[in-house]
Amino acid sequence: MLIVTFVCNQTVIKIMLVQFSFDNYKCFKEETTLNFVASSFSEKCSHATKKGYSVLKVLTVYGANASGKTKLFDAVNFMRSVVCPPKRDGKIPVFDYWQTIYDSFRLNNYSSQNESSFEMVFIIDNIQYRYGFTLNKESIINEWLYQKKSREKSVFIRDNLNVTLTGDHINSKILDMVRSANMLSPIVPLISILSTFNDVLCKKIVDWFDSITVISANDLKPFDLFDAEKKEKILPFIKAFDINIEDLAPHEIDIDTIPDKIKNIVNIDASHHIYDGVFAKHKIYDEHYNRVGYTNFVLEKDESFGTFRLVCMARHIIESLKNGSTLFIDEFDGGIHSFVARAILEMFYNASSSAQLVINTHNTSLLSSKDESGKSLLRKDQIYMTNKNRYGESTLMPITEYKNNLRSSIERNYLDGNLTGVPSVDADYLISFVQEDK
């Protein structure tokens, strides 16, 4: 059980993720924990929240390919999807969605048949909560919510469809109504059901889960630019990274060019707007370098992958910084220059909100980067390593738990293999492989 304490006489943070734990999901067989609590708050205050709790603003995850970095983020997204399922037509929650993406550890006979558990510790309105559940592919088995002010107390405990409330944190009349209407479901979290009926505490918690964003490396769509208000924020953000794009605009498909048969199948008419990409506007110059006009590049095709990826991430970064929410970015360094990556981390350090950023990356330069004051960009407790053993089991560990002497460069220690998280490459085989055809 995690208990977060004060470290200085400052205002308590209002909302923040403190810890995420899970087990038996995808390549993680045993209990795995991502901990935002700073091990030594005095090391550098800007790395942790400025509002009182020693909770880190940025965490980084390193590791070899196929070691579990992306699967860690999948676990976060899975828990979020159980509590806040996607909505059909933007209105109707698909509460059984989690069953389509649930994936226990399959390389062990016992684990593949056993339940999985997920738990988050977080702070909302200056109060710490611990919420979690266990489930299998058929149903939610247990669910719990605890609240901590001076000491931790139970809010509710669920055992299958049996619910026990403690205190008056939850509106008991709403629960009685749900029970009498036989609306408790084996596949729907109690917290989600009560939130639907506007229980104040449950709605706050569900809204907080909904604010968590996980950006997958395989899901890059710059469609946020279709909103003029969002574009006004994204464009100067992109330009600040020395990217010479004058404007960004969606590329709209002419409805008249779509065959009637297709229109009827997908049920579209002249009132619909359909987009298939984004234009990036650039200046055109004559031979004397005088601007003579503009031309459009297709963002997805004509711009670099790094530029495309930065545009796709921009809105999520901006909203996280503004709203004080938690953002997970998979494959953060994909096409992104080290200077840009470092600048984004520093934005989260300097944000007045309680925004948090978690990235997985192969960018080792961040391990040795310094800020303007000459201090390390990353503390040791902000750096995690994933490893996978011969049985396909992944582990996650902060480098603070390694016994190696880390007084020298963390980047050098990592590249030398002293912190694990690096692949064991059979260079001799690879050389012999390419020489076979000679």
Angle, in degrees to the nearest 10, between helices 338-350 and 305-323: 0
Q: Summarize pLDDT for 42-61 with one digit per residue, the tens.
A: 444 455 554 445 899 999 99
pLDDT score of 282: 95
> For tokens 């995420």, what's the residue?
20
Q: Which residues pair with 235 in a beta bridge?
A: none
Rg (CA), the chain: 24
SS3 of 128-139: the string is EEEEEEEECCCC
> C-alpha angle with apex 195: 190 to 198, nearest 5 degrees?
140
pLDDT score of 432: 83
pLDDT of 313 > 80? The answer is yes
Distance between CA atoms of residues 175 and 300, nearest Å:
49
SS3 of 347-391: the string is HHHHCCCCCEEEEECCCCHHHHCECCCCCECCCHHHEEEEEECCC
pLDDT of 359 > 80? The answer is yes
pLDDT score of 266: 59
| Domain chopping of the chain, boundaries | 15-212+325-415, 223-311
CATH of domain 15-212+325-415: 3.40.50
Residue 235 Cα distances to 91, 248, 398, angstroms: 31, 7, 36
Contacts of 46 (CB under 8 A, 6+ apart): 349, 350, 371
* Contact predicate 120/79, CB 8 Å: yes
Averaged pLDDT, 12-41: 89
Q: How confident is the model at residue 39 (pLDDT cuts 50, 70, 90)?
A: confident
Q: Summarize pLDDT for 137-156 with one digit per residue, the tens.
A: 999 999 999 999 889 999 99
pLDDT score of 434: 80
Q: Which tokens is 93 given? A: 């929650």
Mean residue pLDDT of the chain comes to 87
Higher pLDDT: 26 or 305? It is 26
pLDDT score of 42: 44
Q: Summarize pLDDT for 212-267 with one digit per residue, the tens.
A: 999 987 777 766 556 777 788 889 999 999 999 999 888 777 666 666 656 565 56
Q: Which tokens is 396 given? A: 């996650």
Q: Which tokens is 40 given? A: 């030594």
Q: What are phi and psi of 362, to 5 degrees?
A: -110, 5
